Structures are given as structure tokens and as C-alpha cells.
């Protein structure tokens, strides 16, 4: 077991983590980004990005590579295949970040950019047609379905809101829900019921997703859970909104979060634990996009630098008094 000392430890090398690494590198801080896999985060699961300003059309993995190269060029240290297990704050104000192989990273500040994971249906075809019909993000992929017939799965606010949003593009949206009533708020439900392009299919689950020779989705097999009746539903896209799980399990200690577990921060991205910052998809916010992730990360990196300066000033003042 080895102990490493840094000014800033950044957990996760998605867009937020790499951007925080770039800014901390430029500020000449001793910072490290710890990534359990490869740099890129959700960009590695995204076929095409068309809404990152400056890039009208770029493949997800290409943007990830550009972020990684840019961060490295400005001095970021990115360690891959390093899974963080726990981050906890000691009485002396230092954070201990423990990784899988037992090493400890000590730092006065930590930026959590661990993102989150859309909950999957876990059915045949879901993985195979990801990015080829299967999506978890309406704002990202909706416009690919202009004039199409698509389906949305779920019954909460996200599913109902996004079904309504997707009718801007699609001619027809089937909203498939496994129960006979939505969990969504009444006002959102009203929008769904009043939208002539949405057809709700109650008491129904999706069993599998299928495609054609071109590798693109063509239909899904659905089943009524009350009658058992099964049929194929023709749709070129399926948007799955059955929940999203923020990766906050590494944080040891109480921090404020919303009902679904997203981290609450102040406007400087600081959590309710002083010195612990959060940026990107892991944080409570209106929308989750690459632009918002890197925006958050910029603020978090600069706020962490200011926190370190204030901490050093306080330590110097205390030493002078002593």
C-alpha cells in the first residue's frame, strides 16, 4: 500500500473530470484524475454528438480523445483502471481517497465527477441496439427521429416529459408503462394526455428489441402483464427512462442530496462537506449534458484552487500566532 499526496483528487475521467484536470493542471496544482476504466465517461457510450458548441458533428469517442489530449497537454495526470472505493474526510481536514488496490490519495480537496448510470431494462437487444435505436437521452438523440414512430418506456416525470418533448420530432410516440397509472406529476400527465401524437400503452413491458440487416432497430416485442397478450410494436427508436443512478456511493459521510441521490452543491460546486466539490451528472441540476458537465467542472476547479489558497493562508496565520 502506498500513500500519495496531491492538492486535488478528481474522481472520474468523464467530460467533467477531464475538464477539471485541465483547469487544475493550468493552475499548476498537483492534481490527479482517478478513472476506473478509460477516459471518456458516457461519451464512450454515445455514437454522435451534435450539440457540443463548436462541433456540429463529432463521434463520442473522438470528443473523449480530444478532451483527454487537451487535459494531458496542460499537465493533468490521469490514472486509468483505478477504481475509487471510498473518500472520507479526516479530523485534520485532509481527504483520504482509498482505491481498489489499497493505495491512499491524501488531499485537502476532492472533486467528485463520477457521473451516473441510466437504469437499463436489461432485455435482449438493449445493448446491441444502443445508439442504433436505443437511447437514454431525449435532448441528445431526439432530432435523429424526425418524422419517425418511436416509443418511450417509463411512467415517471422523466418518461412523460420526454415523451412530450420527443413529439417535436417524431410523428408518433408510444408511451409504454408497466402499470395502469403514471407516477408523474398531474401537470405533466395532462400534457401527455392532451398530446395527440402520444399513445399510452398501459400495463405493458418490453421483452426484447429487434432490428434489420442494416443494424438499426425496427421493432420491440411487448407484452401486457395482465392479459399476457404479446405483440410486436413497430418503432425505430426506444427511449428508456426508468431511472438514473448517480455514482455517489464512494462518499463516506453525510452530504446533502435530493430525493433521488444527486449531490446538492452551492454555486461554486462545493458540497455540504467543505473541500468536497461535485461537478457534472452526479450533481443536482436541470439538465445533464457535456456542456453542463464541463461548465460545472470549470467552476469546481477554480473554486478548489481558491479553497486551497484560503486554507494555506489560514494555516500561515495560525503558525504566525503560535
Q: What is the CA radius of gyration of the chain?
A: 22
Task: Name the residue nearer to ligand FAD (CB basis): 66 or 223.
Answer: 66
CB 115 within 8 A of CB 14: yes
Q: Spot the catalytic one: 7, 141, 281, 296.
A: 141
- Closest distance of CB 147 from ligand FAD, Å: 20
DSSP 47-75: SEE--BTTBSSEEHHHHHHHHHHHHHHTT
- Closest distance of CB 22 from ligand FAD, Å: 13
184 binds ligand FAD (CB under 6 A): no
CA distance 61 to 40: 7
110 binds ligand FAD (CB under 6 A): no
Considering only residues 67 through 86, tell me which ones interact with ligand FAD, judged by CB under 6 A: 83-84
CB 115 within 8 A of CB 40: no
140 annotated active-site = yes
- Closest distance of CB 306 from ligand FAD, Å: 22
- Closest distance of CB 199 from ligand FAD, Å: 25
CB 59 within 8 A of CB 44: no
Site string for ligand FAD, 142-181 (x = CB under 6 A): ----------------------------------------
- Return the H-helix or E-strand segment holding 237: strand 237-240
How many other C-beta atoms can be found within 10 angstroms of the C-beta atom of residue 239?
28
CB 209 within 8 A of CB 126: yes
Place of cell 487535459: 71
Residue 139: alpha-carbon gap to chain centroid: 14
Site string for ligand FAD, 270-289 (x = CB under 6 A): ----------xx------xx
- Closest distance of CB 130 from ligand FAD, Å: 7
Judged by CB under 6 A, the residue of 290, 300, 301, 303 near ligand FAD is 290
Q: 36-73 in b/e burial notation, b at 16+ Cβ within 10 A?
A: beebbbbbeebeebeebeeeeebebeebbeebbeebbe
Judged by CB under 6 A, the residue of 27, 45, 88, 189 near ligand FAD is 45
Site string for ligand FAD, 213-252 (x = CB under 6 A): ----------------------------------x--x--
CA distance 157 to 185: 6
Judged by CB under 6 A, the residue of 7, 35, 126, 164 near ligand FAD is 35
| Residues binding ligand FAD (CB under 6 A) | 11-17, 34-37, 41-43, 45-46, 49, 51-52, 83-84, 113-115, 118, 135-137, 140, 247, 250, 280-281, 288-291, 293
Would you please indicate which residues are annotated as catalytic (active-site) residues? 137, 140-141
Amino acid at each position: 500500500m502506498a500513500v500519495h499526496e496531491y492538492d486535488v483528487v478528481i474522481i472520474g475521467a468523464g467530460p467533467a473530470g477531464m475538464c477539471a484536470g485541465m483547469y487544475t493542471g493550468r493552475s499548476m496544482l498537483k492534481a490527479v484524475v482517478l478513472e476506473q476504466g478509460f477516459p471518456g465517461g458516457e461519451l464512450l457510450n454515445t455514437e454522435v454528438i451534435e450539440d457540443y458548441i463548436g462541433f456540429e458533428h463529432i463521434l463520442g469517442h473522438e470528443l473523449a480523445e480530444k478532451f483527454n489530449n487537451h487535459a494531458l497537454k496542460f499537465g493533468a495526470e490521469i490514472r486509468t483502471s483505478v477504481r475509487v472505493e471510498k473518500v472520507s474526510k479526516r479530523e485534520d481536514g485532509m481527504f483520504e481517497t482509498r482505491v481498489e488496490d489499497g493505495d491512499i490519495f491524501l488531499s485537502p480537496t476532492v472533486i467528485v465527477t463520477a457521473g451516473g448510470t441510466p437504469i437499463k431494462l436489461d432485455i435482449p437487444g438493449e445493448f446491441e441496439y444502443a445508439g442504433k435505436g436505443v437511447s437514454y437521452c431525449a435532448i441528445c438523440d431526439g432530432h435523429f427521429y424526425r418524422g419517425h414512430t418511436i416509443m418511450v418506456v417509463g411512467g415517471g416525470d422523466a418518461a412523460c416529459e420526454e415523451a412530450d418533448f420527443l413529439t417535436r420530432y417524431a410523428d408518433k410516440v408510444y408511451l409504454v408503462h408497466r402499470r395502469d397509472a403514471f407516477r408523474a406529476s398531474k401537470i405533466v400527465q395532462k400534457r401527455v394526455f392532451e398530446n395527440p401524437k402520444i399513445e399510452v400503452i398501459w400495463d405493458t413491458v418490453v421483452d426484447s428489441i429487434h432490428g434489420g440487416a442494416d443494424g438499426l432497430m425496427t421493432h420491440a416485442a411487448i407484452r401486457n402483464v395482465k392479459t399476457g397478450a404479446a405483440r410486436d410494436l413497430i418503432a425505430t427508436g426506444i427511449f428508456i427512462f426508468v431511472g438514473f443512478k448517480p455514482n455517489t456511493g464512494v462518499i463516506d459521510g453525510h452530504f446533502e442530496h435530493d430525493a433521488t441521490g444527486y449531490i446538492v452543491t452551492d454555486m461554486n460546486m462545493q458540497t455540504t462537506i467543505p473541500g468536497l466539490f461535485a461537478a457534472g451528472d452526479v450533481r443536482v441540476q436541470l439538465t445533464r449534458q457535456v456542456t453542463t458537465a464541463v461548465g460545472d467542472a470549470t467552476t469546481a476547479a477554480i473554486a478548489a484552487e481558491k479553497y486551497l489558497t484560503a486554507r494555506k493562508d489560514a494555516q500561515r496565520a495560525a503558525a504566525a500566532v503560535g
